[in-house]
Each structure stands twice: as structure tokens, then as C-alpha cells.
Structure 1
């Protein structure tokens, strides 16, 4: 059986996350429960270990994520060497691929060493993304503080200021909602890579490469660009109708595996409403509501996780060029869970391709072509 884009094909078995009848779960726990109650560190532990952590395990994970979050000085120099117009996702991919140069046991694939690398990568990717923005602004690179949570530390390392409680709670929830999503393109890329027994850094680098494409990780950045281009509510219908007439894709709507709506979208919609009100950017929320209504009426499509995450991140003072790298911070937790699962019961992933080209052709010498 062949299918375009492998749609409907089960490529592996996994116990990490599920999408059944429109419900998303992490290790069997509904995403709604996790989004409303959990800390991101708890979700990281859950994805990697199968159960929520006890207090001592959670304390140790938080401590490790801070201790490993400081970047080598050589990585600081690398970040500062990039062209001033370099894209953040290109910077992120390059820096992550350089991390194993400073890892003594990079080729050691024992479960113990892989767990150690997993914590290092999860900790450092947050610092890297914050550092990318600070380097672009000519500011000092910061390291995480031991008294801060993971979400709190990222916002601090980005701005250099203590974030508000509201901002931390919103960002924590956004991290949880993006943490894993079954066998999406970047996750599948990571599993294919480590199935060759490449190291965990190679798997994460592959995943970042897949995430950088606009059909996967760049949608919320495109949504923010669309809102800025539209400008006011009065321009929404003319803009959308023209885009649809020209068969342009309106980013942030529809999803291959959700027919009745993305269960994560409602949480981000509520966050967008709350944050835009607090920051005086209510117009972006109101515009988003109007766009949602027009697309539902004209195309029958509902928002996915990317649509309202754009205005959430905008309200948190995050520049749109950083939206996809932030997606990578969160999704690294899921990528690592899948990488560890792949290592546990590994077999090289090598599908076949159904050949549909010409057959029984002979070689023709160059003078007779």
C-alpha cells in the first residue's frame, strides 16, 4: 500500500502520545489535564519515563536542567560569529549540531549516557534560543537561575528581567501544549536518524531541520505576519477573500489528524484573550476571532495549535522570528522521548518506494542521443 505523505500509514508502535477520536494524550493523560495543572518539567519527566515524577525526582530534574543550562564559551563565540541577518532557525540548527564537539561521551549510546545527554540538550536548547535573540540585539548571553522554573528561566534569559507570574504561567502552558504530537514530521525525522545508531545530537539536529519548514514549524510566524499585513479588522474579509481566490494557504487552520478541531487550540485561544487584554494588544485577538469566523464560513476549517500561539508569543514580547525556535524548545522533550524509545527497541527504518518510472530502457551512446 502506498499513500502520498504516508497519510494513514502506521510506521511504528509508540507508548508516548496518542491522538484517538480527536483527543491528545501524553502517556495516557489528557492534554487538557496537563495544560491546566502541570509544570513543563513534570511533562518532560512524564514523556521520558512514562509516569509523573515524585517530588524527589522532580527536584532533581529541575536542578539538572539549571546545572546543564550554561553554554560552553565556544558556543558563545560561535553564536557571535554568525552573520547579523542569519535566520534564528538556521542558527539553532548549527549550534545544536556543534554541541557534541564539547561532549566527551558523544558516541556512547548506553541508556545512562543517553539520559545524561537528553537532560543536557533539553537544558541547553532553551539557553541557545534565548542567546540567539540576545546576540542579535547585541546583548550579553545569560545563564539560567537555580531558583527559577524552566519557563521562568527562558523568559528571564530572553529579556534579562524577572518575568511576571502571568507570563510564566502562559509560557509554561504553551510549552506543555507543544511538547509532543505523535509521529509528526520532525519526530519521525529524529527516529529515522537515530535508528542508524547515530547519536542523540544528530537526531535532534534532524528534527530541527524538519521543523524549520513552513508546513511544520513556521505556521505561527506566518500567522503573525498575516495579522501585521492585514492591519485592521476592516481589511480582514478583503484580504482573506483575495488570498482564497489566489489559492493561497491561510496558515494556522486545519490539521491532517484532527477533523473536529485541534484540542490544543482552545487553550491558546484563551491565553491570547487574556494576554492581549493585559498588554493592550487586544486588536490582534479581535482580528484573530474574525479571521477564524471567515475561514470557518468559507472553508469549514478550524484553528490549529499555531493560530493563537502567534498572538500569545507576541503578547509575551517575543519576536516572530523566534516563534519556531521556541517551538523547538518545547518539542525537544517529545523528540527525546521518541529517540529514547527508538534506542530501546531499535531497528533500522528503511521503507520501500513503489517505482512508477519508465522500464526496460537501454543505454544510448552520447552520439546517438
Structure 2
């Protein structure tokens, strides 16, 4: 029996589409490697059969499937490439605005969900944390937006546009308006048009990344038929964790250490047994293409200074010692230091960009009649006869 299967054979064994097969690979459930001709990939037969066994019916006639598997047509990661609805995300990032990517991910066609009137944001207390301020603003605005109760695709797109503009207003401390998001951020942060183009690129690259923890959280909330406001609030809660969007703050701390220790900051971390933040992304064994796209944006706009050289030297030291490449978190921190953005910028860019993907996931989930309810496998004590506790 062969140790490997081609894509057609693997998909047939699992009784799934090739897109679903690729999703299993991207989540690390099936290992793959290039074929000898280099034009195709082969899939580990034992991984395929183990996964098939997990999905097979139980003795009670029910599927013992991992119910956290969700089919999606939004984002694909395949063979080191990132695609938004079939379009190469890296290529889009060179020219597209976040608004145009939103139209693509929200399947708006020729209609523009941003072509609407925006109410003034509600008054909220002055909250330093950008995440907490975004959440407070959404919670305050949601009760007055009755249109958000329309959970049909176009209704969700319209709500998504209002939510996105509201999040931007929380960062720029202004009123929602129709100016391109990257331009609003650049003006609020006092940087040049060239820096605005780098911000635009970063927003597009942050838009979606398959079924990560925040996207799954959003889909769970949407499956309960809560509004897009609630779904995005939940996504923000997940995003701020140090193992997700909070990684950028950990990269910033590494940069601060490097200001004192130079490249030795990498070895110092490793000697303490610590994981290097912003280094490695298991979905991209050969390196996160989003990092490279951010560096290309700096090149395209003529940014070459000491801050960038320090960051790239640190990345090279990490690759030398770990044989692992930087990811988008490292790239966002590099952009922030290079073009002189405020410390909150990486988190803000990531959250605003990712909101577009969250709305797409919510929109897709609203069209699914099922409530997401993963099954728990009980591993506690066996039932006992009644006795005093």
C-alpha cells in the first residue's frame, strides 16, 4: 500500500472536495509534500485514513466527526500561497484598498456597501486600550442600529461597512466618513502618503486568514444569530489574546530588547527557553508570504532606515538560529518602527483589517442553518453510586 496519495485519491477517500482537502492540510491534519516533478503535492495516506476513521459513523449510527470542521469559500492557503475568494492576496495587497477587498469577501459584486450615511458615534468614556475602546463603541452603537437585524447577505454587508467605519473612528477619534481607511489612519498618525500606502498594504494582508481562533469565535456567535456587532465584539475579544493579535506587542518587546542587546536578544530568549514571538507560522513551512509583502511595500515606498535594518537583522538572526522565518506579526512591528507609527498601530491595523474577514465569516455562517456546537468527549470520573460529597 502506497504511503502517499494524490489529491484526487485523498479527496475520494475522505469523500470531500479538493478545497476541503486543502483546508485539512492547512490546519495540519494531513501532511503533504511536493511530488518529484514539483508541480503537484502528495498526501500522507496514514493521515488521510486516520482522519477518515474519525469521520466515520459510530455504532449508534451518528457521525463521530469533529464538528469544528466548517466548510468555507472565503480564504484558501495552499502550497505557501494565500487566496481571498480565489484571488492572490499578496497581489491584491499591492493595489487594492481594504474597502475593495471587503466588497470581494462580502460578495457585493458591483454594489458598494460603503455608499451609505453614517451616524455620529455614540459618546463613550476615554479608554486607552484600542481594543477596549472598539468594543465599548460597538456595544454603545449596536442597540440603535436596527438595520443590523437584517442577516441576509446584503444586509450583513451594509452592517459590516458601518461596523468597520465605527472601528476606524475609534482609532482616529473622529466621525465615520467615506475617506479610504488607510488615508484616515495615516492622517491621524501624522505620516506621509508613502506611509499611507504601506498601511493600505498591511490592512489588506490582515483581512482574513482562514478559520483562526477569532474567526471561529465570530462564527460561533453568528450561528446563534446574534448581530454582526456582537460577532465582531467577540472577534475582538479573541484577537487581543497574546497567542493571536497580541503577538505584535510581544514582537515589540523583542525589538526593545534588541535596542540594548542587538541580535543577541534572539539568543538570550532562546537560552531562557522562550519562544520567539513573530517567528514561524505552521501554515507556511517556507515562510509567511505576508511578511515578504510588507517588506516589499517598504521597498516600494522608499523606506530604508536604521529601524528597518535593526528589525531585518533581528529576523536574520532568528532564521539563522531556528531555521524559521518571520510571520505577519513580525512584519507589522517592522512596519510600525520603520515608518514611525504609534505603538498602538500594529494592533489597530490588524483589528481593523481582520474585521473585514470576520464580517465575511459571519455572513457565511448566517446562511448556514446549523448552530455550531462542538461535542465534548467526557474524560472525568466514572458515574458512582450516590454518597455524601
Question: In which range does the TM-score fall when normalised by the shorter chain?
Answer: 0.7 to 0.9
How large is the Cα RMSD of the aligned pairs? Answer: 2.5
Partners of 1:276 and 1:284 within 8 A in 2: no
1:182 shift after superposition = 0.9
1:254-293 alignment runs, 5 A limit: 254-272=280-298, 277=303, 282-293=305-316
Considering fraction of residues, name the structure with more helix.
1
Q: Which consecutive residues of structure 2, in runs of 5 or more, have no partner in the other structure?
A: 1-26, 30-65
1:1-369 alignment runs, 5 A limit: 8=29, 11-49=69-107, 54=110, 57=111, 60-64=112-116, 67-68=117-118, 71-72=120-121, 75=122, 77-80=123-126, 82=127, 86-131=128-173, 142-143=174-175, 146=178, 148-156=179-187, 158-159=188-189, 164-232=192-260, 235-272=261-298, 277=303, 282-366=305-389
The aligned counterpart of 1:138 is none
1:258 shift after superposition = 1.6
Partners of 1:272 and 1:311 within 8 A in 2: no
1:359 shift after superposition = 1.4
Q: Secondary structure at the match of 2:341?
A: coil
1:179 shift after superposition = 0.5
After TM superposition, where is structure 1 displaced by more than 4 Å over at least 4 residues in a row?
272-276
Q: Which consecutive residues of structure 1, in runs of 5 or more, have no partner in the other structure?
A: 1-5, 132-141
Partners of 2:74 and 2:361 within 8 A in 1: yes
Partners of 1:219 and 1:306 within 8 A in 2: yes
Distance in 1 (CA, whole Å) between partners of 2:203 and 2:222 is: 24
Q: Which moved more, 1:86-95 or 1:349-358?
A: 86-95
Query: For each residue in 1:189-236, what CA deviation from the matched residue of structure 2 results, as whole angstroms up to 9, or x when unmatched?
Result: 00011101111111111100110101110112221222123215xx23
Distance in 1 (CA, whole Å) between partners of 2:267 and 2:339 is: 30
Distance in 2 (CA, whole Å) between partners of 1:277 and 1:106 is: 42
The aligned counterpart of 2:24 is none
